[in-house]
Amino acid sequence: MKALLLGANGAVGGHIRTALLGAGYQVTAAGRRAPQNGLSIDVSGSDLGDLTAAAREHDVTINASGVENPNLGQAVGAGTLVDISASSKYLKQLRTAAPGTSMILGVGLAPGLSTMLVASLDYIPGDDIDVALMLGAGEKHGPAAVEWTQRLIGAPIEDPPEAHRVMNFREVSSFKDADQIRRYLRADFPDHHLLGNDRGIQVRNYFALGSPAATHALALVARIPMTRRLVSAVPPFGSERWSLVVRNRRTGQTREASGNNQSRATGVLTARAVQEMFARGATGTVSMSDLLEIDDLDLPSLEIN
């Protein structure tokens, strides 16, 4: 199997490449600046001819570039697109723009592993499900991840379960992860689009950093959007530990997952999702929860309870 990897030079792209090579794939690295022995492909504009030509020679195209171009689905043609973005509006646009293209949307921690955890809960239509993601403040994230966080500041959540407007990083809730209670901020991860709407449940996502002080600072910046650029100036400190907690409000049932280094976890999960899609012969637009059950995800780098 041949994979075209966009964003191969990025923080996540390197881990995806390693995981795919370990799974036996041939990987062609690509980026705006050509990686060594790779291709120069710019997917930020309207002319995606280079991508279309390269995609024809590969079974799957993986977008780890951080560029959110809704025309990518059409550009890969008869191939499969895997996009690791966590932007609700963008993933919704991808679905709309290329309804006939085979795509895996949301293959990171949230969405991705989070959708699998939610699907493993016992629930009935109408239940409220909370998803809490904590990322270690000590991990140095790439520019795309920083830009994604900056875009959310001052922006509303796309199509929230509530009937009113909900702003990113303004609403606070507390969750227990590991052995401590931590404050989380409401954030626009797309689990409600990829899973909640299809299953009749109300999914809300929350986000925290491993440092409570860093989470508090993010909440303050969210109140003054003109200061969003300060996010890129915060130096990494602390650990690279991440955790996910999902909770059914009605029953109190919870499930958890944790590990080290979000970028590496995303790479491992992406490779596994690609393998599973081709093994099952799946087509159309799918998410991680359509391909795998959480209890079948036997990966040494992840701890699941």
In tens, the pLDDT along 14-40 reads 999 999 999 999 999 999 888 888 999
- Does one domain contain both 155 and 226? yes
Instruction: Report the percent of the chain where pLDDT is more than 90.
Output: 65
How many structural domains does the chain have?
A: 2
Confidence of residue 235 (pLDDT cuts 50, 70, 90): low
Confidence of residue 234 (pLDDT cuts 50, 70, 90): low
Please provide residue 104's backbone torsions phi and psi, each rounded to the nearest 5 degrees. Answer: -110, 120
- Does one domain contain both 104 and 211? no
Once rounded to an integer, what is the mean pLDDT over residues 111-118?
A: 95
Task: Look up the CATH number of the domain holding residue 165.
Answer: 3.30.360
Which of 260, 275, 290 is a domain's end point? 260
- Does one domain contain both 225 and 134? yes
- 47-69 tens-digit pLDDT: 999 999 999 999 999 999 989 99
Q: Is the pLDDT score of 232 beyond 70?
A: no
Note down the domain range covering 30: 2-108+264-304
Output the pLDDT for position 151: 87
- Does one domain contain both 204 and 137? yes
- Does one domain contain both 153 and 245? yes
- Does one domain contain both 139 and 101? no
- Does one domain contain both 33 and 76? yes
Output the pLDDT for position 58: 96
- Does one domain contain both 128 and 232? yes
**Alpha-carbon dihedral sign for residues 269, 270, 276, 279:** negative
- Does one domain contain both 84 and 19? yes
- Does one domain contain both 242 and 119? yes
- Helices 13-22 and 262-280, packing angle to 10 deg: 40
Output the pLDDT for position 122: 97
- Does one domain contain both 93 and 118? no
What is the spatial distance between Cα 136 and Cα 211, in angstroms, rounded to a whole number? 7
Q: Is the pLDDT score of 288 beyond 80?
A: yes
